[in-house]
Structure 1
Amino acid sequence: MSKLTDVVEFRIANGYYAIDVQIAREIVEMMEITPIPRSPDYITGVTNLRGEVTNIINISKLIGLPESVASETQRIIVIMPDASQGSNVGIIVDDVRSVMQVNEEDVEALSESLSSDVTDYVKGIIKVKEDASDTMRLIIWVDMQKVLDQIIS
């Protein structure tokens, strides 16, 4: 019997990505973000989320993706504090598509010949069959825990 894992699928620019659902605390609409002077370019700033100061990360800049234009569909995925060493952290995405179950048989590992910088932060490529056709859509499964561990340590 194959293992199922729940992931949150989201879009950044023209690509589809996912993170493990257990490290996502909630998904909120985009809100006002206050920039922090002299912070790294991947830190968009901070926001007040229900009385808690939350650091907002631009995941596009952090993992080297093309940056998108702000839109009404942008969301913030708030990460569980225990995944971010007690910090309140949210990541900006262009759109949240769904929470879905992934069968381990539908996940393909990245080639070991690729740079370790790439393979360190990608758990695998999720292959999803589109509803009405035989075409496959590929979703990059980001290891958000490793990404957070590097920037917070």
Structure 2
Amino acid sequence: MDGYIEIVEFELGGEHYALDIQLVREIVEMKPITEIPRTPPYIKGIMNLRGEITTILSLNHLLSIEDQNDGERKIIVLVPDASQGSNVGMIVDDVHSVMHVPQSDIDLSCEGYGDRVADYLRGIIKIRKEGYEGETERLLLWLDMKRLLESFFADAQRS
């Protein structure tokens, strides 16, 4: 594998995740959200973001991750192409960095984790310690946001 990918690293439920930077329109501080009655628990509501109505999703609910954060959160707003033309934002615990990752540090094999994991995971990214060749500091789960949101929109149409 040659080249690099550019990702956004964020935190959710005490774990670190990544998504492609090309899918991110912007990252905003948490703002008031208007709840919509009788929607699934993963839809937190809507908000007015610079004059555009944006649907806010709970990534915790979509990924079945226990909500452990009592502090301030962030919203990752996706480009409309990533969310079938809709304005969608996802609540995360924190956003840490944007980084270039060598493709050689990505394990694309998601076998052995079960079918449900393969539905949303593109791969596992090894983040190396500075100055230590070959030594892994931590692992990031690289999410396939397009696939995850496709299943969200399919579920929403069935409801």
* Bin of the TM-score, shorter chain as denominator length: over 0.9
**Partners of 1:110 and 1:28 in 2: how far apart?**
32
For the structure 1 residues 42 and 4, does the alpha-carbon distance in structure 2 shift closer, same or farther, using more than 3 Å as the test? same
**Partners of 1:5 and 1:88 in 2: how far apart?**
24
Structure 2 residue 24 is matched with structure 1 residue 47: no
- % identity of equivalent residues: 46
Deviations 1:80-120 (A, max 9, x none): 01111111000011110001111111011344232111012
- State the TM-score, normalized to the length of structure 1: 0.93
Structure 2 residue 61 is matched with structure 1 residue 76: no
By how many angstroms is 1:136 displaced?
A: 1.8
Q: Following superposition of structure 1 onto structure 2, how do residues 1-153 of structure 1 map, counting pairs within 5 Å? A: 2-72=2-72, 74-131=73-130, 134-153=135-154
Q: Which amino acid aligns with 2:151?
A: Q
By how many angstroms is 1:65 displaced?
A: 1.1
- The 3-state SS of whatever aligns with 1:25 is strand
Q: Structure 1: state its 5+ residue gaps.
A: none
CA contact (8 A) 1:18 1:139 kept: yes
Q: Structure 2: state its 5+ residue gaps.
A: 155-159
By how many angstroms is 1:70 displaced?
A: 3.5
**Partners of 1:101 and 1:135 in 2: how far apart?**
16
**Partners of 1:128 and 1:26 in 2: how far apart?**
24
Number of residue-to-residue matches in the alignment? 152
By how many angstroms is 1:48 displaced?
A: 0.5
CA contact (8 A) 1:110 1:119 kept: no
After TM superposition, the structure 1 stretch with the greater mean CA deviation from structure 2, 18-27 or 112-121, is 112-121
**Partners of 1:93 and 1:99 in 2: how far apart?**
15
CA contact (8 A) 2:126 2:140 kept: yes
Q: Which amino acid aligns with 2:40?
A: P
Deviations 1:3-47 (A, max 9, x none): 211010001121000110001000000000111101111111111
CA contact (8 A) 2:126 2:136 kept: no
